[in-house]
Structure 1
Amino acid sequence: MLPQEAPTEAIVLAGGFGTRLRSVVSDVPKPLAPVAGRPFLAWLLDALQRGGLRRVVLATGYLGEMVEAAIGSRHGTLDIAYVREEQPLGTGGSLWAAMAATSGDRVFALNGDTWQGANYAAMARSAPEADLVFAVRPVEDRARYGSVLLEEGRLVGLREKGEHGPGLVNSGIYLIRRELLAKRPLEGAFSFEKEILERPEGLDIRGFEVDGRFIDIGTPEDFSRAQTALPEWSARA
């Protein structure tokens, strides 16, 4: 469970078009893609519930009405709320808009098409005063992803894709302090990665290392792998 006064809210970005997945899933938005008989988003919400969170804001867009109909206002012990974008806002614009529907000083944020084994309580304790804490995971070859450069746990830069060798890569779980929005008062559509992670100057951004259990259902190959990997990982969580 999360420690006392730790963040208990999360934002899940669930508005993607799922273009690369349409050859195998075309009738529902990507977060609702069926994995082992359940929507992928249900597995993700299970993990947030196990982590001690109590409220989740789903930031929807494309086919958002289907997400709301499938998930509703409760998932287990989680209260579910919705913020729907009328036009694409990018990862950053969606997050900034959804923050208005939260009340905590710090809020978790994650993508609705990836699942990562993470200890939310430990992540919350790791750097409580940081503007942003984000999950990183070790890989044997960083060429596919690009990588993260940390010095004493602080983000100092990013490396481009294509460089081979071991490294740390972004796993897409963020813990955002509300004051970050005032420090970067951006409006409309923007990329969280480009405007925040690629411009860490003046911000206290920390990396938090998580284990290697990670899956992104954005491609047919990884979607197929999720059918067995997610039930197995969830059983061991």
Structure 2
Amino acid sequence: MAGISEISGKRRTVTAIILAGGYGKRLWPITRDIAKPLLPVAGKPLINYLMEKFIYIRDAVSEVWVLTNERFKGQFEKWAEKYPLLSIKIISDGSSDEFEKPGAVGAMAKIAPLIDGDFLVMAGDCIYEDDLDGFLGFFMNMGKPVVAVYQAVEIDQVKRGSAVILDVYGRISSFIEKPENPSTSLVGAVIYAFPSWVKNRLVEYVGLGLPRDEPGRFIEWLHRVEEVYGYVLKGNVWDIGTLEAYLKAEDMLKRRMEWY
């Protein structure tokens, strides 16, 4: 792990920000009274799968911020008590319902002045097989914004997410959010590593009146004004966006536990 946080002989860490401000309406009624990242998947809260990644690279993660809302803030505060090994901060975006929420990008821009140094952004409703050490190591070597990408198993994954094309140097040459007719099977995951200065771009983006709800819209804009690179993840990615996806992930992970 020292190889991640001490590249070039200097100790480097990131603030990890978990996006958990949604109200999970597509999974109602099961998410009516519980935050989606706290839903149990194969015996433990969905967000715990992310926390296991952070514990593994905890020398490179200075703090974990969970960006949520007023409705679920208390649930996350109670959950955070179970992770004494990590410094966890629960931050509310100030909203109490779907109509008040500022959107994921709007919420990030709102807390931008609080961010000190490089930062990692991850969706709180996804499970990734790959670890984060390779991704963070790549980011710290590049010193540029980096987006995790993965190979889609089916074309609908690209249509629901973002279509990404990388050039021979790994730079993102095309990033299209919610493409109707994708020409690539590479999907952008909501795992971003940003140098500190990107927080100014977040504020700029919101100031332009551009879409605030989907994080991929920010990347779609950012790659046109800055160099942004892609890092290809290994293994599967489960995006728990629908009831069908939730049940599928639950079944798959339970079966894997039985195998091992």
Change (3 A) 1:162 1:55: same
Q: The residue matched to 1:77 in structure 2 has which SS?
A: coil
Instruction: Give the TM-score, by structure 1 length.
Output: 0.84
Instruction: Give the TM-score, by structure 2 length.
Output: 0.78
- Give the aligned residue type for 2:144: D
The separation in 1 between residues aligned to 2:232 and 2:104, in whole angstroms, is 22
Q: The residue matched to 2:191 in structure 1 has which SS?
A: strand
- Give the aligned residue type for 1:158: F
Change (3 A) 1:140 1:32: closer
Checking the alignment, whether the CA contact within 8 Å between 1:108 and 1:175 is kept in structure 2 is yes
Is residue 221 of structure 1 aligned with residue 236 of structure 2? no
Corresponding residue of 1:190: 212
RMSD of Structure 2 on Structure 1 (CA):
2.8
Is residue 15 of structure 1 aligned with residue 15 of structure 2? no
Instruction: Summarize deviations over 1:184-229 as a string: whole Å, max 9, x none.
Output: 5334772432233234223121000001321112211221122244
Corresponding residue of 1:123: 135
Structure 2 unaligned spans of 5+: 96-100
The separation in 2 between residues aligned to 1:64 and 1:184, in whole angstroms, is 25
Q: The residue matched to 1:207 in structure 2 has which SS?
A: strand
How far is 1:109 from its partner? 0.7
Is residue 63 of structure 1 aligned with residue 71 of structure 2? yes
Checking the alignment, whether the CA contact within 8 Å between 1:36 and 1:227 is kept in structure 2 is yes
Corresponding residue of 1:158: 175
Q: The residue matched to 1:15 in structure 2 has which SS?
A: coil
How far is 1:94 from its partner? 1.9
Change (3 A) 1:21 1:183: closer
Corresponding residue of 1:39: 45
Q: The residue matched to 1:28 in structure 2 has which SS?
A: coil
**Between structures 1 and 2, the one with greater helix share:** 2
Structure 1 unaligned spans of 5+: none
Change (3 A) 1:155 1:213: same
Matches within 5 A, 1:96-175: 96-103=109-116, 105-128=117-140, 129-146=142-159, 147-151=163-167, 152-159=169-176, 161-163=179-181, 167-175=185-193
How far is 1:31 from its partner? 1.2
How far is 1:235 from its partner? 11
**Could you tell me which of 81, 85, 101 is aligned with 2:89?**
81
How far is 1:18 from its partner? 0.6
Count of residues in Structure 1 that have an aligned counterpart in Structure 2: 235
The separation in 2 between residues aligned to 1:96 and 1:200, in whole angstroms, is 17
